Structure 1
Amino acid sequence: MSQFGQSGRRPDGAAFIIAAALAAIGTVILWDAGRLPDNGGYSGVGAGDVPRLIGYALLGLALWTGIDGMRGADPRPKQQPVPLLWLLGGLSVMVASIHWIGFALGATILFTCAAAAFGERRFHIAIPSGLVLGLVIYAVFDQILKLNLPAGPIETLIFGG
């Protein structure tokens, strides 16, 4: 039997490493979820159900990645660091400043940087869009779900702190 897969390409070693990492993380999550008390209450859904779902999903992704690795490596696209830097920069600024500027402005920064990472350079559109989405998300969590997100000057002005 040949060392090449059905496509005539060699198996992808990186895919096997990724599959092993996904399987390890999924296994740890399943093990940890098994230790949680399963008090489903009236709905039958307990604290361990979502971690179990995530663990099984990661194991499924590991299997899928391993099968794809057996088929052989496809040519990978050239990596572009600039979009990644936009995303990491926006996330870093949001995490570092969210307690001072509030959720809406932090989400605006992250949204604008994510839009720039995907090639959007019309910041006069991205910034107001991010602000509106940030305020809507804040309103849902704060007013409807009664869950606290960091409030800044805009949230205090609109929703009364």
Structure 2
Amino acid sequence: MTNTVSTSATRRPDRAALVIAVVLALVAAVIVYSTATAHGGSTTRIGPGAFPYAISGCLFVLSVWTGIEAWRGDFPEREAQEFGPVIWIVGGLAAQMLLLNTVGFSIATGILFAATARGFGKRPLWMTIPIGIVLSFVVWIIFAKGLQLSLPAGPLEHLI
């Protein structure tokens, strides 16, 4: 007879998941503090202030649950992280934030679309940038003209 040891007994606590549990608890605490110290609002018992408390309660429950699962080592092994795609996506988001007020919504969001597509493996930027600009321009038309919402306009949007 072979003596087998359970894998859950030999696994150590998952440090990354413990950090996530702590961050969830901190976010819940910030929401509670912010809601408790907010001035104004409704004088009714259940009003707009109830929802932040409910959300923070759910976050706290998720925090405890994540902490327990992390301590027991019940999370599956994670694959190695590839930083290239993450850099493309974060770089595209940074480019969009920096360019939004100068080149407008369509071009800036088209660049974000292309960088995200590159991060997910679509290679030719010469193809994804124009596709992203066209799709973003359609979104701009729907929101700015159809719904009368204010989105940053650039040279492309000023053509309409």
TM range, smaller chain: 0.7 to 0.9
Residue of 15, 18, 25 corresponding to 1:13: 15
The question of whether the paired residues in 2 share the 8 Å contact of 1:22 and 1:59 is answered with yes
Matched, 1:38 2:41: yes
AA partner of residue 108 (structure 1): G
Give the aligned length.
151
Matches for 1:21-32 after TM superposition, within 5 Å: 21-32=23-34
TM-score by length of 1: 0.76
Alignment gaps of 5+ in structure 1: none
**Aligned-partner SS, 1:77:** coil
Look up the match of 1:155.
Answer: 157
Matches for 1:6-155 after TM superposition, within 5 Å: 7-8=8-9, 9-36=11-38, 37-39=40-42, 46=48, 48=49, 51-52=52-53, 54-72=55-73, 73-123=75-125, 125-155=127-157
AA partner of residue 93 (structure 1): A
In the TM superposition, residue 15 of structure 1 has moved relative to its aligned partner by: 1.5
**C-alpha separation between the residues in 1 aligned to 2:126 and 2:81?**
28
1:80-106 Cα offsets, whole Å, 9 max, x none, are: 110111012111111111111101111
**Aligned-partner SS, 1:7:** helix
**Aligned-partner SS, 1:10:** coil
In the TM superposition, residue 79 of structure 1 has moved relative to its aligned partner by: 1.4
**C-alpha separation between the residues in 2 aligned to 1:112 and 1:50?**
37
